[in-house]
Amino acid sequence: MDKIADHLPALSRASLLRALTWRTSLSSRKENHARIWDHIFKNDKWIVKVLQIKNGDNGAPVPCLVGSQLQKFYYGSPQRVFLALLVNDWTGDVNCLRKTFFDSLRDYEVVEKDSIIRLKGSGILLHIADAIGRNDEGWISMEDPSQLFRRRGSRLSTQAIYYNEEVLHEIGQTDIGGIDGRSMKKKKAVRDICSIKLKFREGLPVYRVFISPRKKVKVVNLQSLDENGRDWVTHWRIARRHEREWWTNN
């Protein structure tokens, strides 16, 4: 039975393991990965449809969870965890799957419409805007983006896990962008706007930007080249007097 479970997608594996009351000799990594997605979804209908979307050489979507408390969740403690569910969809097709998405979720209550839900069984707070296509050219509105990060001294980190991989990815300071020159105290540098380097389904890099609707400072975009030579807005600086906001400065 374990050999069968070993080759199943995460949610199918979770269903089988639940029937076995989670008694298994599977690696803890495979079991933990299955358990995470099982806490959120009761079936894989939405996930299957997302994984069927193609985007040529530009990067295809993949469900992904991001948050500084993901490690806690991964090892079996989902209560009071805040996570962002992303799909990294550059086609716009995910926007057509909203009904399937909500029908696939475990019991939930809406905390903020089109933004945050609470899973009733686990208490997980899940930011869903990207999963239902609510973003502005890939930029995601989030009341306080800094809650995605953990701060140790002057360095930030977070974690990510993808549906098509069982690895828990640690994301460090070099893959996190914020407003240059702003203090890390109280994570101020990433409170208004930030970026996280993630990846598309094929492994191509993608930088996701989170922006607070309460942002008060004017900023100028700063770009970086990824390893494939593609330009991304990855960090910002405070706009100078009379300088137009969002003007891109390389």
Q: What is the DSSP string of 191-247?
A: TSEEEEEEE-TTS-EEEEEEE-TT--S-EEEEEEE-TTS-EEEEEEEEPPTTPPTT-
Average pLDDT, the chain: 88
The conformational region for residue 167 under phi > 0 = left, psi -120 to 50 = alpha, else beta, is beta
Pick from 92, 19, 39: nearest CA to 10: 39
pLDDT band at 231 (very low <50, low <70, confident <90, very high): very high
Longest dimension (CA), the chain: 67
Distance CA 208, CA 69 (A): 18
Instruction: Give the pair of three-digit tokens for residue 37.
Output: 């997605």
CA atoms within 13 Å, Cβ hemisphere of 10: 27
Order across the sheet with 205-211: list the strands: 139-141, 205-211, 193-199, 176-177
The mean pLDDT value for 125-151 works out to 94
Q: Is the confidence at residue 43, as pLDDT, over 60?
A: yes
pLDDT tens-digit map of 73-102: 888 776 789 999 999 999 999 999 999 999
Taking the model in full, what pTM does it have?
0.88
Burial of residue 64, with CB atoms counted within 10 A of its CB: 0-12 exposed, 13-18 middle, 19 or more buried: buried
What kind and span of H or E run contains 51? helix 45-52
